Amino acid sequence: MNMQAIGRKISALRKEHDMTQVDLADKLGVTYQAVSSWERGNSMPDIAKLPDISQVLAVSIDELLDDAKATILVKNVLTGEEPNIPDMETLAEVAPILKPSQVKNLAENSGISDTDMSAIADMAHHLNSETLKDIILRSSGIDGDTIAEIACHMNSEDLKEVALHCKNIDSDTIAEIACHMNSEDLKEVALHCKNIDSDTIAEIACHMNSEDLKEVALHCKNIDSDTIAEIACHMNSEDLKEVALHCKNIDNDTIMEIACHMNSEDLKEIVMRDMNSEDLKETITRGNYDNDTIAEIACHMNSEDLTEIAIALVKNHGLKALSDSGVIDHMNEEDIATAIRSAIQK
């Protein structure tokens, strides 16, 4: 139904009967603001008021609504007859003038097809979360755009079920619905997505706890350094370490950025993984170690954990590497001596 067209018709008929908005409101037992809203097309009269409006303005409900399918449905509801719903689109059009309970009963008793998804989105705000979920789950499929549209009308658990019902939910949809879900439900939906991307993980991180976020990040096949830097503030040290170690090519800039969110031992594992990897061994041996990175992260590590890094530096680059890297500024004398002895002995 076209609310603007119906509003214009009410306005024209009122004027034909030489009535003000206040006059019509008094005859119908509503406020003049309600009549004004109808005539502007901002709202629709309640279904119970249609017979009164029809009588006062001397017009049939058919003429007032000017929609054959909608008129049939309205008349059935008014008379209490078993409604014959032509399609969900018609129900969506009539929903604004029905009570929520009426919309619920009609929707639950109607047939539904995959072509009805846009109609369901249109009447979503007239249905409670559970009813909306049940209607959608009766269909053979739902698309991501519809899920994004109805998300604000659903609770987290129902939204999760609907999202899991979608065979091909994508990263964009997950990013849009994340703010309507709790961490655990959001995790299940994210893990259901076959190809969730790094950008989406960064977007949804603020809606998740550390453990759930870790599982989603580990599910991503190609999580990158930038994403790890963005989500670090939402994770505890141990979970962040697992994600960082999962990244195939974490860079020095990212290690420096996440260092402040990690404890010393976890940070050491990340640094030592790269310093001892086969891919980087040749670079370290040539003396191209990154002084800036080591200097930046050293302040976040205790002396004992820095010892292993210091041993690797001395072994590959000589004693000068200790001062060049600045690592000894954060180590006690005993650990410095240990590092030097270990490196020389090896």
Residue count of the chain: 346
Distance CA 334, CA 346 (A): 18
* Average of per-residue pLDDT across 331-346: 84
Distance CA 300, CA 22 (A): 73
The DSSP output letter for 140 is S
* Average of per-residue pLDDT across 240-253: 88
Distance CA 156, CA 133 (A): 11
Q: What pLDDT is stored for residue 126 in this prediction?
A: 80
Least confident of 129-143, 270-284, 291-305, 322-336: 270-284
Question: In sequence order, what are the residues at sequence separation of 6 or more whose Cβ sits closer than 8 angstroms to the Cβ of residue 91?
Answer: 73, 85, 103, 106, 107, 110, 119, 123
Return the number of other C-beta atoms located less than 10 Å from residue 32's C-beta: 14
Domain count, the chain: 1
Return the number of other C-beta atoms located less than 10 Å from residue 282's C-beta: 9
Residue 115 has pLDDT above 60, yes or no: no
Under the banding of pLDDT at 50, 70 and 90, the label for residue 202 is: very high
Residue 70 has pLDDT above 70, yes or no: yes
How many Å separate Cα 312 from the centre of its chain? 44
Least confident of 154-163, 226-235, 271-280: 271-280
143 versus 101: which is more confidently predicted?
A: 143
Distance CA 82, CA 267 (A): 69
How many Å separate Cα 216 from the centre of its chain? 13
Distance CA 296, CA 309 (A): 13
Residue 312: give the domain boundaries: 264-346
Task: Note whether residue 311 is domain-resident.
Answer: yes
Task: Note whether residue 70 is domain-resident.
Answer: no
Q: What pLDDT is stored for residue 113 in this prediction?
A: 56
Task: Note whether residue 316 is domain-resident.
Answer: yes
CA-based end-to-end distance of the chain: 84
Core vs surface per residue 202-237: b (16+ CB within 10 A) or e = bbbbebbbbebbbbbbebbeebbbebbbbbbebbbb
Task: Note whether residue 76 is domain-resident.
Answer: no
Task: Note whether residue 325 is domain-resident.
Answer: yes
Q: What pLDDT is stored for residue 290 in this prediction?
A: 60
Task: Note whether residue 252 is domain-resident.
Answer: no
Q: What pLDDT is stored for residue 92 in this prediction?
A: 74
Share of the chain above pLDDT 70, in %: 90
Q: What pLDDT is stored for residue 1 in this prediction?
A: 64
Q: Which amino acid is at 146?
A: T
Q: What pLDDT is stored for residue 210 in this prediction?
A: 97
Residue 156 has pLDDT above 80, yes or no: yes
